[in-house]
Amino acid sequence: MRYLKMKKAPGAGTAGNRQFGYASTPDDAIPAIANRIPRGRSHLRHPAFLLAAVCALLTAGPVRADDARTHEFKLDNGLKLIVQEDHRAPVAVVQIWYKVGAAYEQDGATGVSHALEHMMFKRTEHLATGEFSRTIAERGGRENAFTSLDYTAYFQQWSKDDVELSFRLEAERMQHLLLDEQEFTTEMKVIAEERRLRTDDDPQALAAEVAQTVAWQTSPYRQPVIGWAADIASMRLPDLRAWYERWYTPSNATLVVVGDVEPAAIKRLADQYFGSIARRDIAPPRARPEVGQHGEKRLIVRNEKVQLPHLMMAYKTPTMTQIGQPGPDGKLVEAWEIYALDVLAAVLDGGSSARFTRELVRGQEIASQVGTYFQSMSRLPDMFSIDATPREGHDLAALEAAIRAQLEAIKAAPPTVEELARVKTQVVADTVYQQDSMFYQAMIIGTLESVGLSWRLRDEYAAAIRQITPEQVQAVARRYLDRDRSTVAWLLPEEAR
């Protein structure tokens, strides 16, 4: 899954984006196996493949996915409630997911989902400004929120006895948010500064944003979650009010609870606090499909702050939600192909024994870092991306050629049986670090539901991964790592002209 980094201050959510291999992650949801990239952003290697890891261990250890621990309910007003029992500690995680994010926005109004997320921590009819976060802090809880292209989510982590308070607070701001002009003006300055620090003053982030808009011509995935600077400056309070009234409704939300709880009791609490909220039917966002690409796109971004050049490559690929539909080449997408793309990402970049590290970092010593990123759990078609930094004494042209040679090698000959065995063994081993996180369990459920998939997919994922053959990995490399549907970005220092 793609996870989004959040501010440390309570209630100050931040925006994340798909950025040619970069993914931000909430600090308390980062699995121990997560890799780090420069400049403080967290990078989760092929995180959808890590979903398979979760599933594999959930079927074999103290945390099981197939023993009826997970319960689904639907309130009359359309709110979906999913409760997962985990009785190892007297704590609980409560997350509420709204199916709206930056990819729902229109040109000229980008960033409104993220701005509304910030304002959700202000005042309501029955809570003064700051009272929401203060109430949680006084009881020793943790809370925050995050916005992505596909969804906006809010959460609390605390004692199981406080689940009822979570419901009371979330139901309050679902229906009674008050938007104050002065608070809005102040918060928009905070958001503008956030964009400056995290994007405009960060050469790699800024280059990734530019590359994103070049790669996607018409897809709403071309938009930055935080919004364009001009849209942030021109945003007005009525824009947020209209967005809130349109999307923040029970029928557009999924409430996830994981912890030491009793499902029937949680259902009664949900009925008590959310059941009386009026249902509003949601019209789906206007479709904006990506147009066909008929040749490689290339760009060079120069920045005076760049100290090391950087390479970004991305190939358009389908995701789990496009199975049975035409792919980027017009042919129908088969389910096994999505799993094979996840395995391909792991073969290339799945630890110290993976091809990129073995051949390019240690072997040829041409790269100081090479990473892959594939998001199979997206609402719309996404990308298989590669990012790399050359070692001193090597340039981007040589590094790009070396990466392409690795891609051509896997197209010419499938990975070995030993390589796939390593990948599949790693699935289970890696999950040891993830099974203890109630937050991560809830993230899997919420993400799947919010992009239009069922949480039950997690229970099928590991078995599907285990069925992937070397020839299938080779086949998806040939089909989807096509230069005519790729984008390549070079980030160079100013003096390199």
How far apart (Å, rounded) are the C-alpha atoms in residues 485 and 472?
20
At residue 465, the pLDDT reads: 87
> Where is the domain boundary, 214, 243, 274?
274
Shared-domain flag, residues 212 and 346: no
Q: Are residues 250 and 345 in the same domain?
A: no
Please check whether residue 317 lies inside any domain of the structure: yes
Q: pLDDT of 401-428, one tens digit each?
A: 999 999 999 999 999 999 999 887 776 5
| CA 92 from centroid of its chain's CA atoms | 22
Residues 6+ apart with CB under 8 A from 106: none
DSSP state of 278: P
Domain-located, residue 447: no
Query: Which residues are CB-neighbours of 497 under 8 A, at least 6 positions away?
Result: 302
Structure tokens at 395: 């340039």
Which of 274, 308, 324 terminates a domain? The answer is 274
Residues 268 and 301 in one domain: no
pLDDT at 430: 58
Asked whether residue 438 carries a pLDDT value surpassing 80, the answer given is yes
Q: How much is the average pLDDT of 362-383?
A: 95
HEC profile for 246-277?
A: HHCCHHHEEEEEEECCCHHHHHHHHHHHHCCC
Residues 229-256 have a mean pLDDT of: 97
* Residue 272 φ/ψ, nearest 5 degrees: -65, -45
Integer Rg of the chain from CA? 22
* pLDDT tens digits, one per residue of 439-493: 999 999 999 999 999 999 888 887 888 899 999 999 999 999 999 999 999 999 9
pLDDT value, residue 427: 63
Q: In the chain, what percentage of residues exceed pLDDT 90?
A: 77
pLDDT tens digits, 100-159: 999 999 999 999 999 999 999 999 999 999 999 999 999 999 999 999 999 999 999 999
Considering the domain architecture, whether residues 269 and 327 belong to the same structural domain is answered as no
**How far are the Cα atoms of 95, 156, 240, 269, 417 from residue 167, in angstroms, in the given order?**
10, 10, 23, 7, 50
Q: Tell me, yes or no, whether 114 and 206 share the same domain.
A: yes
pTM of the model: 0.88
Say which CATH number the domain at 474 has: 3.30.830.10
Read off φ and ψ for residue 300, nearest 5 degrees. Answer: -120, 130
Kindly state whether residues 305 and 164 are assigned to the same domain: no
Q: Within this chain, do residues 255 and 118 fall inside the same structural domain, yes or no?
A: yes
When divided into structural domains, the chain yields a total of 2
Mean pLDDT, residues 210-217 taken together? 97
Least confident range from 34-48, 216-230, 446-460: namely 34-48
Among candidate residues 85, 117, 194, 359, the one labeled active-site is: 117
Is residue 289, in this structure, part of any structural domain at all? no
Within-domain flag for 211 = yes
Residues 236 and 320 in one domain: no
7: left (phi over 0), alpha (psi -120 to 50) or beta: beta
pLDDT averaged over every residue in the chain = 86
* Residue 58, pLDDT above cutoff 70: no
Q: Is residue 480 part of a domain?
A: yes
- 369 in a domain, yes or no? yes
Would you say residue 446 lies in a domain? no
117 is catalytic: yes
Domain span holding position 492: 297-437+456-496
Distances (CA, A) of 220 to 227, 236, 346, 445: 12, 22, 28, 24
